[in-house]
């Protein structure tokens, strides 16, 4: 538990103090946000956001990495393979996002990497993670993941290394893009992912207390490094809260694709390593709903030539309906909290008497 507290506290402090430095540095270099033309033309609130420093996700990633390292130095406990793999996934996807953000700034446009190049970067990082996550067993022979699907724990037979790799890539690309689509309003993605990270701190701690190595039982968990996964979640959550202090409306800095892709990677990595892959769909329900709104919008327009929403992703639909930005953000945060609470409830339900 000490690791978790140290990781969260250090991440919070580093991000809280580091973000203003990033704001000054990025402002001095002209690393400002470009706004989608149709959005800037339709909502006056977004016109004033052009030029706001972006790439703030670099602060989140660096603060989380330093916080994770500090927690292990303070407790003299070595890092684990599971924790390092999830951090690798976060950093690798953050690097893809950084390149995307940098191209937007350099070319002064709202589009960065071409979709194919961006997807290739995500797939390469994801493939390395998928290759490593089913290797490196501990002394009990438990690897960070198994080649099986999981909900509250691993379920069903093995889907094979090829099938599992494809599934992991779908999760990584899907959730990194889902968080990316959730971004766009001040503080929205930060709050939405923060609730999921908080849930994974609780999940990792519970799996530690009920692991099969210490107490073999019908509901115990075969998870390789549950405590360190909770430390990873706490590191990122602390960094995210510190960043949110400056990203809250009206935002003084945006996380950019650097932050959104990295955060999506962390969520996918934690779900895979804690054996709760399908549960993540519920825990991160807001991100899933927003992604579905884009799929519905594109599918409807291609099939019928008509749009279901005034604009996608969903948060911009409500903007065009006249909702204030802060109203949308707070209400969407509430939805995110409810989704995470529902996911946690399902996670704990099998431990209820008579379940």
Instruction: Inform me whether the pLDDT recorded for 47 exceeds 70.
Output: no
Q: CA 130 to CA 133: how far, in whole Å? A: 5
Query: Which segment, 17-31, 112-126, 150-164, is predicted with the most confidence on average?
Result: 150-164
Among 38-47, 164-173, 277-286, which stretch is predicted with the lowest mean pLDDT? Answer: 38-47
For residue 177, which of 275, 54, 294, 88 has the smallest C-alpha distance?
294
| pLDDT at 35 > cutoff 60 | no
Please, which residues have CB within 8 angstroms of residue 26's CB and are 6 or more apart in sequence?
Answer: 32, 53, 54, 55, 56, 253
Rounded to a whole number of angstroms, the distance between the first and last alpha carbons of the chain is: 28
Comparing 47 with 17, the larger pLDDT belongs to 17
pLDDT digits (tens, 9 = 90+) for 118-153: 999 999 999 999 999 999 899 889 999 999 999 999
At what angle are helices 115-133 and 256-273 packed, to 10 degrees? 30
Residue 210 annotated as binding site: no
Q: What is the mean pLDDT of residues 180-207?
A: 95
Task: List all residues 6 or more positions away from 263 whose beta carbon is below 8 Å from its beta carbon.
Answer: 57, 60, 90, 179, 189, 193, 236, 240, 255
- pLDDT of amino acid 45: 55
Q: Is 180 annotated as a binding residue?
A: yes
Q: Looking at mean pLDDT, say which of 138-142, 277-281, 303-307 comes out highest.
A: 277-281
* C-alpha of 191 from chain center: 11
Give the domain ranges of the chain: 1-134+155-276
Rounded mean pLDDT, 319-326: 92
Of 231, 245, 263, the closest CA to residue 336 belongs to: 263
What pLDDT shows up at residue 216?
78
Residue scoring higher pLDDT (32 or 209): 209
Q: And the tokens for 7?
A: 């990781």
DSSP state of 150: E
Per residue in 49-59, pLDDT (tens digit) is: 666 888 899 99
What contacts 352, CB < 8 A, 6 or more positions away? none
162 has a pLDDT exceeding 80: yes
What's the whole-number mean pLDDT along residues 216-237? 93
Averaged confidence pLDDT in the chain: 90
What is the pLDDT at residue 28?
A: 80
- Contact between 250 and 186 under an 8 Å Cβ cutoff? The reply is yes
Determine the average pLDDT of the residues in 297-325: 92
pLDDT tens digit sequence for 229-262: 999 999 999 999 999 999 988 888 999 999 999 9
Q: Is the pLDDT of residue 111 over 80?
A: no
pTM equals 0.93
pLDDT at 31: 65
Instruction: Give the pLDDT band of residue 155 (cuts 50, 70, 90).
Output: very high
């Amino acid at each position: 538990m000490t690791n978790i507290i140290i990781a969260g506290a250090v991440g919070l402090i580093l991000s809280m103090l580091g973000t203003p430095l990033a704001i000054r540095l990025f402002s001095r270099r002209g690393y400002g946000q470009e706004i989608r033309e149709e959005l800037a033309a339709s909502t006056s609130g977004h016109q004033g956001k052009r030029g706001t420093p972006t790439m703030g996700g670099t602060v989140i990633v660096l603060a989380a990495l330093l916080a994770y390292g500090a927690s292990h130095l303070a407790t003299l406990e070595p890092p684990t393979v599971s924790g390092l793999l999830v951090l690798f996934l976060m950093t690798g996807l953050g690097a893809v996002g950084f390149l995307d953000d940098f191209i937007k700034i350099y070319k002064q446009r709202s589009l960065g990497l071409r979709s194919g190049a961006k997807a290739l970067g995500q797939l390469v990082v994801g493939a390395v993670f998928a290759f490593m996550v089913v290797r490196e067993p501990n002394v009990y022979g438990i690897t960070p993941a198994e080649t099986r699907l999981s909900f509250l724990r691993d379920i069903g037979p093995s889907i094979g290394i090829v099938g599992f790799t494809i599934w992991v890539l779908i999760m990584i690309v899907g959730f990194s893009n889902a968080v990316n689509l959730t971004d766009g309003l001040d503080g929205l993605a930060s709050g939405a992912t923060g609730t999921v990270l908080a849930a994974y701190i609780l999940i990792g701690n519970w799996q530690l207390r009920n692991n099969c190595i210490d107490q073999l039982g019908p509901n115990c968990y075969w998870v390789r490094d549950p405590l360190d996964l909770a430390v990873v979640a706490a590191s990122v959550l602390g960094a995210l809260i510190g960043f949110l202090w400056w990203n809250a409306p009206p935002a003084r800095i945006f996380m950019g694709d650097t932050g959104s892709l990295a955060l999506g990677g962390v969520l996918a990595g934690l779900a895979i390593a804690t054996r709760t892959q399908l549960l993540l769909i519920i825990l991160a329900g807001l991100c899933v709903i927003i992604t579905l709104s884009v799929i519905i919008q594109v599918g409807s327009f291609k099939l019928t030539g008509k749009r279901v929403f005034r604009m996608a992703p969903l948060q911009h639909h409500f903007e065009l309906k006249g909702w204030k930005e802060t109203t949308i953000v707070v209400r969407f945060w509430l939805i995110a909290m409810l989704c995470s609470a529902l996911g946690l409830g399902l996670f704990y339900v099998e431990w209820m008497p008579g379940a």
